[in-house]
Every structure is written in C-alpha cells, then in structure tokens.
Amino acid sequence: MNQLGKGDLAVDGGVPVISREFVVRNTMGPEEERAAVEVIRSGVLSRFQGSAGNDFLGGPQVRAFEEEWADYFGVRHAISVNSWTSGLIAIVGALGVEPGDEVLVTPWTMSASATAIIQWNAIPVFVDIDRASFCLDPSLLEQHITPQTKAIMSVDIFGQSASMEVINAIAAKHGLAVISDCAQAPGAWRNGRRAGTLGTMGGYSLNRHKHVHTGEGGMIVTDDPDLALRTQLIRNHGEAVVDAMGIKAITNILGFNFRLGEIEAAIGRCQLRRLESQTSRRTELAEMLNEGLRDLLGLQTPHVKDGNDHVFYIYGLQVDPEALGVTRDWIYRALTAEGVQGLAQEYLNIHRLPMYTQRTAFGSKGFPWSLQSSDTSSTYGLGACPVAEDLQERTYMGLELCSFAYTNADIIDTVNAFKKVWSHIEAAN
C-alpha cells in the first residue's frame, strides 16, 4: 500500500471539512406525544392477559396497530411483539422447527437472526452473501440443504429485498418454509409487493434506530391464519390457553411474554403514517450521495437489485484497496477525521462469534449441536463465508442514514469530505 504524504488531511493535522455535530435523528413529535398521553390518561398501559378470553389478543391500541399494519403491507395478519428478536423466535417456533433441525441463514445480519433458531434447539447453517447487494446468495442455497433443513431465513439487509422469487422456488422444490427478516427494509418494494411479505412469514423491527420507531418492538406478517394463531400463542403464554381454546397442535407453544404495550402501539400507529415520507427522504439522500461519489476511483456505491427499490437504512459502500493503494481502515480513519458522521467500517459476521465456533449455547456439552449426527452442514469460523468475511475485513464501509437527521448540507459536506480524502489518495498514486 502507498504511504500518503503529510498534507492538509485532518488525519494529518489539517482542518476538517466538517466541524459541526450532525443532529441526531428524532422521529418523536407532537403526534406521538399526544398519543402516548392519551394512553396514560386511559390507565390502560396493557390489556393483555395470559388466559383465554377477549384480552388474550391485547388492548385497543395493539389491535388497531396490527390492523393498520396489515392493511398498509397488504397481508391478512399482522402480529405485534415487544421486539423483533421476539418476533423471529415466535416465527421459528410457529413453523414447527424442532431440536436438531437446520435453518439456512445469512451471516451478514444482526445476531438475533441466528439466535432465534438456537432458541428452539435448532442449528443455524450460514450461507454466504451476494457481494453486490449484501443479501443472501440464492445460488449457494442448495449445496447447504440436507434432510434436516426445515427453513430458509432471508434478511433484507440495509433496506432492500433479497431475491425472494429465486429463494421461494428453491424452498418449494425442497419443501421448506421461508422466513423474511425485513428488520431494516419496511416500506421497500420488490416487483410490486412489499418487502417482508414475500415469504411464508416475515416481519419488521421497530426499535429505536429503525424506520418505524416505538422504542422497542416488532411486527410479524403472514397470510396463513394458522401460523398467525401460533405466533399469537407463542407471544402470550399459549400453553395456558390451548385447552380452553380447543387447540390440539401444541408443538412449540411455550410460556413466553412477547407482548407489546399500548403506549408503544399508539406511537407505532403515528410512525406508520409517516413511513413513506421517512423512507422517501432517505432515498433522496442516497441519490445525492450516488451523484457525488459515483466517479471516485475504487469506490462502489450501493447496488439496487432489479425489481427492487431501496429505503437505505444503511448506505452500503465497498472500497477496492488494491486500486486505491491504501487500506479500508486508513480510509475510515481519514473520513472520520474529516468529520464524516454515521460511518461504519464493519458489520457482523455472526458465523465467527464464539457461540458458533465453540458450538456452545445451552449448557456445557455443545447443545444443540450435540444433536447432529455430523457437523458437515454447519461450518463456522474463518473460511465458511468468504464473501462476507472479505467485506468485513477489507472492503465494506457504510453510512447509517437512520442515525442522523441529515440535511442536504450535511450530505454535500460528507461528499466533499470523501472527495478531499480521495484527492490525496489519487495524488499519492
């Protein structure tokens, strides 16, 4: 790699392009305040009751939120939960995943995508990603399918859908369910349908830095009434009500409390009404970044797959260290010194976390991996997912567009900071 000479780069003591702090994104406003106050004044912060009856499905705000979400996303059923982690656990359980079963999942995601599988004593099998989109690479799926495979979990990472038609076709061929983890992409479309609604079951995160923000929360979606009921049972102490409700299929109906509160639901209803304007604004910001950065040597701006639109939870970039003559980590330090905010130089490679490389989750004897007759289908650690690993170690950078209330001036200055750093790289080359 080239050694850049001293100059006016801030990393070398020069004056940074950006000297102000960007405003942290805050989507709470008067509408949310009024909604929360109304719930508090009603005295009903939750209506859920863990027994059969009218309150098993929650209070008026929860039910209204679910109905409005189902209508907006064009599905028959929406089931709220207290976090998207809870939602994923409920989905995996509702699909009847059993101890020792395998679920195919991307390594390039938040850790809960895989721990939701572990929760049911099943085995995550990591399938590498497509370098251009960061989503699951469907061309690799079939080589990982075994007689133990029960489902495929696809993650709509950074704000756009995976190639769901191809994934669904492979799943149908092998009799598998498809879970669409759309935590980061509510409001995105794929071929005229909402991202997150294209699998057997799917859903969304509502936590503090997502597009729809209720503090903590999540929303499951499905068109299957039986699966909807099973997630409702898993959400709210289903083991206590199945007898009274006449439910005979009780596999995986355990005593969880995954219930969303009335205040969060009331806030979520307000946020849902602004989802389109929020995502449209981030698309505008991304277009400004595309225009400003597209001609920089060795820098790849986000690729939007055919049939998709992208809501840009994260603006995912890739750098080419060989073409630039400097490392990704040096570029990150230089951009950070210039005042660029919301910049990240890595994402999770969850197949390399100690729980997987050491095969230790429950107890000290390697459970649930001890249920496997062999470990050939679940390979963890370095070398298992080379594309994701290369991105993590050398080439990925991302701007977290949901972190700040970026103005046009913020984006212009961010682009200028990139151009300043690149001008020094090019001069050194």
Contacts of 23 by beta carbon, 8 Å cutoff, 6+ apart: 404, 405, 407
Question: What is the count of structural domains for the chain?
Answer: 2
Q: SS3 for 91?
A: helix
Query: Omega of the bond prior to 30 within 30 degrees of 0, cis?
Result: no
Strand order of the sheet with strand 299-300? 299-300, 315-319, 396-399, 343-344
Looking at the chain, the number of H-run helices and the number of E-run strands are: 13, 13
Q: Is beta strand 299-300 parallel, antiparallel or unpaired with respect to 396-399?
A: unpaired
Q: Check residue 328 and give its pLDDT.
A: 97
Task: Share the mean pLDDT of the chain.
Answer: 95
Summarize pLDDT for 223-261 with one digit per residue, the tens: 999 999 999 999 999 999 999 999 999 999 998 999 999
Q: Which of 273, 301, 323 is the last residue of a domain?
A: 273
Q: Check residue 255 and give its pLDDT.
A: 82
Name the residue with tokens 């599988």: 117
Is the sign of the CA dihedral 48, 49, 50, 54 positive or negative? negative
Contacts of 34 by beta carbon, 8 Å cutoff, 6+ apart: none
Crossing angle between the packed helical segments 262-273 and 60-73, to the nearest 10 degrees: 30
* Same domain, residue pair 99 and 241: yes
H/E stretch holding 258 reads none
* Same domain, residue pair 262 and 334: no
* Same domain, residue pair 70 and 99: yes
pLDDT higher at 426 or 201: 201
* Same domain, residue pair 72 and 14: no
With a cut of 50, say whether residue 5 has pLDDT above it: no
Determine, yes or no, domain membership for 196: yes
CA 148 to CA 58: how far, in whole Å? 36
What pTM does this model have?
0.96
Q: Show the beta-strand stretches assigned E in 280-319.
A: 299-300, 315-319
Contacts of 95 by beta carbon, 8 Å cutoff, 6+ apart: 150, 151, 177, 179, 200, 201, 227
CATH number of residue 136's parent domain: 3.40.640.10
CA 79 to CA 89: how far, in whole Å? 13
With a cut of 90, say whether residue 377 has pLDDT above it: no
* Same domain, residue pair 19 and 49: no
Domain that residue 215 falls in: 30-273
